[in-house]
Amino acid sequence: MSDRRVTDQVRIVGSGLLGASIGLALGAKGVDVIVDDASPAARRLAIDYGAGRAPAEGDAPGVIVVAVPPDVTAEVVAAELARFPDALVTDVASVKLAPLAELRERGADLSRYLGSHPMAGRERGGTISARADLFEGRPWILAGHDGISYGRARPLEDLVLDLGAVLIEMDAVEHDRAVALVSHAPQLVASMLAARLDAGTDPALRLAGQGVRDTTRIAASDPALWVQILGANAAAVADVLRPLRDDLDAVLSALEAPEASGSRRTIAEVMAAGNAGVARLPGKHGQAKRFATLVVKIDDKPGELARLLTEIGEEGVNMEDLRLEHSPGAQLGFAEISVVPEAAHALAAALEKRGWALGEEDR
Amino acid sequence: MSDRRVTDQVRIVGSGLLGASIGLALGAKGVDVIVDDASPAARRLAIDYGAGRAPAEGDAPGVIVVAVPPDVTAEVVAAELARFPDALVTDVASVKLAPLAELRERGADLSRYLGSHPMAGRERGGTISARADLFEGRPWILAGHDGISYGRARPLEDLVLDLGAVLIEMDAVEHDRAVALVSHAPQLVASMLAARLDAGTDPALRLAGQGVRDTTRIAASDPALWVQILGANAAAVADVLRPLRDDLDAVLSALEAPEASGSRRTIAEVMAAGNAGVARLPGKHGQAKRFATLVVKIDDKPGELARLLTEIGEEGVNMEDLRLEHSPGAQLGFAEISVVPEAAHALAAALEKRGWALGEEDR
């Protein structure tokens, strides 16, 4: 196809969700994709699935993507660098410092290695979950280092852009600290909080609302994968969790003596620090802009939400976000609709005129 | 109106969000609602707002609802019990053991007191945020105790049902433990996790995805209110957070020596306990049933989501839940649509036939 950037052969090692998705997407653009896997059966499945062709004598890939489990990433990258002395090699592991350090120890040719991290996982892995559109609009970090020249990265940038991903440059240290903060620590905290629910009575759990659901949703993630990820980024994750433990110790002391001098202040300060932290999260499209939220009551029957959204469209308003809130035991719910603040007032009036019951939230 | 259960006068003390919402809802049903407030200005505002009429000589309320801040709840309940010796008095504080204990100490007539807890807060409080439909479909706990007879609770049950709430009976100890588990501890944990974000760099925060957003959303709550709530339920919240601190200590030790014997096992066990805990949360409508999730790609332009939902309706499928997922920097998103498992396969096929790009998630 005429709009693609990649011109070289691309070799993919590892045919799981990420590897197969990259193969499907590049193949659809007409790239000559070679797919390989330590398991011959897995390789055959990926080829049947359309993720690429089998390796052949005389293959000369320009870019090699290593998409294998984190604990064997560096070993496979080193082998590929040695086997294809002209290729640029990347990996897609979700930590970036550990593979770089291991490659350095192995004496690999770092002038042709550039680590990357596509932030596009799914809860369900494997070749058969692969999608050509998996990376569209998702951040894809390139973790540059001193050993590679600026121009050498170009073929990988082209590949990332052909996949529809959003390119972000960040060094390995900065990357690992960032994902410790916004992904790895939240995962562990959600798991530790969710673990408490197992001791709850059924009536207690029936009182669960949206708050506890949101705070524990990601606790359903796969332990085996996370043990590898967390093990490879242990120091950075510990750096995030250590001050959290200090806060937790202070909060527990305050809760154990709620009337003691300073106890209320301790809790107020932790809550206020939480206010400040959550306000740092950028809004949709990476903007820091805040949206106004309208809350609309929805009867729980087919078509009601579609009707609401159609009518919002008829009012010419673009919805920035949508959240459904349910009531335990009830046959109705609330839709929280985020719109730009300028549109909120007129939209609220229009919806009420159309017969919807609503109230305006401030966030 | 003919369908209402409440027949007596209802007196509401405290004209904030909850008090005014109760007044609006009962008034709309034709109940004679008296609204009072320690602040004359606040009382006038609530009356102007339609939450009830001013108190008058000869008022004889059958039920009195005390809707004042937690730290003065017991004092006001005791005063109302003394002033209206025939009335049933309730409060709406989000803890139930502390007011009951304080009323016992004060020697109040507990045969006419029944604490309650409507789980229907909003982030924004105050009379002007009041809505007559605030309690519709929400759980409303009645915290029974030994000092009140079974039949004496009836007028309050009628009031709760007239408000459209879902009645749940639970004693004060059980209630406070339940809300510590599903509300108070998650609030503190979300705040402590969100507090970490304030130390993050802007590039790090740009990598934030749905996981960290969900786990920290409630960290935006009001510190002043939560200091009162947590102070009044301190022991039960500490009971939930203490084992979490033990887990956190173990996880930190594991992260500080990731290669040590047992470290990976510690992390795997915490993650597995999180899997088990989150699986305990009941699904929509209080059922434990799980839904199948379809992920559909949505272009970020007005009307796209409405079109999708309309087409889902045309396929005769009722959507059980909906979540929008955004990509930082991208002009597209994904809608995660939960449906009963039996409907998932046919709906996926139908949507793909209609031209939607999708993949099926297993949860």
Distance CA B87, CA B159 (A): 14
DSSP letters for B129-148 = G--TTTTTT-EEEEE--TTS
**Hey, are the CB atoms on B231 and A258 less than 8 Å from each other?**
yes
- Check: CB of residue B99 under 8 Å from CB of residue B125: no
Higher confidence at residue B363 or residue B175? B175
- What is the reported pLDDT for A124? 59
Is the pLDDT assigned to residue A361 strictly greater than 70? Answer: no
Q: Determine the distance in angstroms separating the CA of A84 from the nearest CA of chain B, rounded to an integer.
A: 32
Question: Over pLDDT 90: what percentage of chain A?
Answer: 66
Residue B36: its H or E element: strand B33-36
Residue B259 corresponds to which tokens in the numbers above?
């290669």
- What are the boundaries of each domain within chain A? 10-170, 176-279, 286-361
For residue B69, what are its two tokens?
A: 């801040």
pLDDT of residue B302: 67
For residue A77, give how far its alpha carbon lies from the nearest alpha carbon of chain B (Å). Answer: 22
pLDDT in tens, A259-274: 999 999 999 999 999 9
Question: Each residue of B134-153: b (16+ CB within 10 Å) or e?
Answer: bbbbbbbbbbbbebbeeeeb
Dist CA A264 CA A270 (whole Å): 10
ipTM of the complex: 0.77
Chain centroid, CA B142 distance in Å: 15
User: Chain B: nearest CA to A83, how far in angstroms?
Assistant: 30
Closest CA of chain B from A36, distance in Å: 24
Q: Which residue has the higher pLDDT, B273 or A130?
A: B273
- Listing DSSP states for A57-120 in one string gives TT---SEEEE-S-GGGHHHHHHHHHHH-TT-EEEE--S--HHHHHHHHHTT--GGGB-EEEE--
Three-state DSSP at B63 gives strand
Predicted TM-score of the model (pTM): 0.77
Average pLDDT over residues A180-196: 98
Per the listing, tokens 């066990």 go with: B269
> How large is the average pLDDT for residues A204-227?
91
Fold of B9-170: Rossmann fold (3.40.50)
From the list B133, B141, B174, which residue is nearest A297 (CB)? B133
pLDDT tens-digit map of A14-28: 999 999 999 999 999
Residue among B183, B189, B263 with most chain A CBs within 10 A, to mutate: B189
Region B38-52: what's the mean pLDDT? 92
Considering only the top CATH level, what class is A10-170?
alpha beta
Question: pLDDT value at position A64?
Answer: 98
* β-bridge pairing B33-36 and A88-91: unpaired
Q: Which CATH class for the B286-361 domain?
A: alpha beta
Average pLDDT, chain B: 89
Within chain A, where are the H helices?
17-28, 40-48, 73-83, 97-105, 154-162, 172-179, 185-197, 202-206, 210-216, 223-232, 234-256, 263-279, 304-314, 341-353
Please report how many Cα atoms fall inside a 13 Å half-sphere around the Cα of residue A196, on the Cβ side.
33
Question: For A280, which of B179, B197, B278 is closest by C-beta distance?
Answer: B197
Size of interface A-B (CB pairs under 8 A): 466
Taking 60 as the threshold, does the pLDDT of residue A177 lie above it? Answer: yes
Instruction: Tell me whether B353 touches chain A (CB under 8 Å).
Output: no
Higher model confidence: residue A211 or residue B327? Answer: A211
Record the tokens describing residue A53, joined without a space: 């062709």
For A:87-146, CB contacts with B below 8 A are 119, 122-124, 129, 131, 133, 136-139, 141
| Cα(A248)–Cα(A167) distance, integer angstroms | 37
Beta carbons of A198 and B277 less than 8 Å apart: yes
Fold of B176-279: 6-phosphogluconate dehydrogenase C-terminal fold (1.10.3660)
Distance CA A188, CA A195 (A): 10
Give the strands of the sheet with B9-13, arranged side by side: B33-36, B9-13, B61-66, B88-91
Q: In this predicted structure, what is the pLDDT of residue A319?
A: 77
Residues 6+ apart with CB under 8 A from B197: A181, A182, A277, A278, A280, A281, B205, B212, B216
